[in-house]
């Protein structure tokens, strides 16, 4: 599972919110701001990234477990 997370983050290990893949996935997941507007990948800040990871931690862990089985 950890290996899968490392592959997804790639060269953005110390700043995963800069990863184009992760930002794009967050955009398609439907990340919204405080007013409820959908955010584009360019609008995702480190704070929004960490808040997204914290609020969706169970789904993210489930996804990582699933990808580790592939």
Condensed to tens digits (0 to 9), the pLDDT of residues 9-54 reads: 778 888 888 888 888 888 888 888 788 888 888 888 899 889 888 9
Alpha-carbon span 61 to 25, nearest angstrom: 15
Please count the structural domains in the chain: 1
Could you list the residue range(s) of the whole structural domain that residue 7 is in? 2-68
Q: Where is pLDDT greater, at 2 or 61?
A: 61
Q: Where is pLDDT greater, at 59 or 68?
A: 59
pLDDT band at 62 (very low <50, low <70, confident <90, very high): very high
């Amino acid at each position: 599972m950890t290996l899968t997370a490392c592959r997804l983050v790639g060269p953005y290990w110390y700043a995963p919110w800069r990863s184009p893949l992760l930002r794009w996935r967050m955009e398609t997941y439907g990340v919204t701001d405080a007013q409820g507007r959908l955010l584009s990948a360019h609008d995702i800040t480190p704070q929004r990234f960490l808040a997204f990871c914290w609020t969706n931690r169970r789904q993210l862990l489930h996804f990582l477990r699933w990808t580790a089985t592939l």
